[in-house]
Copies of this chain bind each other. A is one copy, B any other.
Amino acid sequence: MRTRVQWRVSVRLVGTVLKWLWVPLLLPLGIALYDGTTTLPFLGTILGTVGLGVGLEQLTDETTMYEREAFLMVALTWLSVAFVGAAPFVLAGGGTIAQPTNALFESMSGITTTGATVIVDFDAHSRAVFMWRAVLQWLGGLGILVLATAVLSQLGVGGAQLMETESQTRDVNKLTPRISETASLLWQLYLGLTGLQVAVLMGLHFAGYAPEMTLYDAVTHAFTTVSTSGFSPRAESIAAFSPAVQWAVVPFMVVGATNFVLIYAVLRGDIERLRNSDEFRFYLTLLGLFTVGIGGILAVENTYTSPEAIARHSLFQVVSIVTTTGYASVDFNLWSSGAKHLLFVCMFVGGMTGSTTCSIKTLRWLVVLKAFRRDLFVASNPNVVRPVRLSGKVVTEDTIRDIYAYTLVSLLIFIVATVFVAVNASRSRVPVTEFEAMGAAASTFFNVGPAFGIAGPFASYEPFSRSTTLVMTFLMWVGRIEIIPVLVILTPSYWRS
């Protein structure tokens, strides 16, 4: 029996990830060279991250990971990339994100695909800096795909073993080969979707439907749509573009929050697999229900005069929040309390497992609802055995318990976070209502991005106190990697025999 976690193995793999960060850093560097803006932030970060990564790789030659090492590797990877990703913001030196705590928040918001920003003045930053924000999110989306399909499903985190994956074998003893195998498959699909969105957005531009759309806009928004992450170089997010662009972005958000293994199956011609997926049907149903709900409120309250605007904004915002993208087609902060509240509830949903989405996810909610219904039946029929089925397969009682536990622990952490944000804001006289505190806590923890009030879609998280900023940075980190890895490594027994 082993006695301790082999942390060197975890850190070694983190080193490999950091070492390769020089490749994505070439993109903002290229923009900086092209625009003639400062290249120092990116050159400096490249040097630093390669040096750090190569250094960490020297810690050990061992590469075999078990559960403990995998949890540590996952937690440290997201944390260390957030630190490295903050360097360009600090080195660039402009605006609110030059301050180190803010830079870490912005970078964590990037790599966790959250999209909450502490930028106040969008004119204070170069196009290269905005490109780096978008690249961080694109990387974060790819990272989470690999994490969800290759790592978490193997570790059985929060019922993730239920997710529809290519292979149903669980062999945690050799995680590393599986990670690279799954990654290569997914990253082609991910790249393809990104390219398709760039093509669609530029097509709209050349057809005259999107005069404001530049190639730079198309690329940065494609990076942050397919990754359901939501950073935009525009202060007004997608509201800066024409209705045609807003409509065009919706399907890419929907696809970004769909299980990539299912998308892959469809591309191979296996449409049955998608049609038989209980989770996919449930995901679309929820999108429909919330859209009708918010559309109904906007219509009854005469928020917009044109039916097209009502349909567009209700669909766009519901898809944006449920898929945890966080884009805004309009300042929903100005909506009535009923509409805002419903949008707040959307934050708890999330898209499908095996996608780039965050939050609790439709798989878990569906199993929770199915298990509830079964429990009610058994309560009045105590002698009947009735298993819970998902897409025709029986869900084990252990998995149901894991999913219950995950969903509950998510809600509990959210509640504790709201207390911190509300009390701290009240103490430091930041103008935040209780609801806005809850919205900001949910939006960071569930990696949605915008919330309400000062955290609204066209506003900035900057007014929050430094301690709140740090707590929100922590929340984004914990929420993105499905909570359990962080909680596990924070458990004292983890570090003992």
| Other-chain residue from B5, B336, B438, B491 in contact with A376 (beta carbon distance below 8 A) | B491
A427 B337 Cβ-Cβ under 8 A: no
A394 touches B (CB below 8 Å): no
From residue A293, how far is it (CB to closest CB) to chain B in Å?
A: 8
Interface positions, chain A 438-494, Cβ under 8 Å from B, are: 438, 484, 487-488, 491, 493-494
Partner-contacting stretch, out of A48-56, A107-115, A186-194, A429-437: A429-437
Alpha-carbon gap, A438 to B422, bound state (A): 15
Contact A338 B488 (CB under 8 A): no
B71 adjacent to A379 (CB under 8 Å): yes
What residues of B have a CB within 8 angstroms of the CB of A381 in the complex? 493
- Known A405-B404, A409-B372, A426-B301: A494·B380 in contact at CB below 8 Å: yes
Within 8 A of B (CB), among A322-380: 336-342, 344-345, 348, 368, 371-373, 375-377, 379-380
Q: What is the distance, in angstroms, from A380's C-beta to the closest C-beta of chain B?
A: 5
Do A380 and B68 touch across chains, with their CB atoms under 8 A apart? yes
Contact with A397, one of B380, B401, B437 (Cβ below 8 angstroms): B401
* Interface positions of A from 376 to 415, Cβ below 8 Å from B: 376-377, 379-382, 397-398, 400-402, 404-405, 407-409, 411-412, 415
Interface residue A278 (Cβ < 8 Å from any Cβ of B): no
Contacts beyond the supplied A293-B423, A342-B423: 11 A-B pairs with Cβ under 8 Å? A5-B380, A293-B419, A297-B427, A337-B437, A344-B434, A348-B415, A375-B402, A376-B494, A380-B491, A380-B493, A408-B411
24 contacts between A and B (CB under 8 A): A67-B382, A68-B380, A157-B379, A297-B426, A337-B432, A337-B437, A338-B422, A338-B427, A341-B438, A348-B415, A372-B408, A375-B405, A376-B484, A376-B487, A376-B491, A377-B491, A380-B494, A397-B401, A401-B401, A404-B404, A404-B408, A411-B411, A433-B435, A435-B438
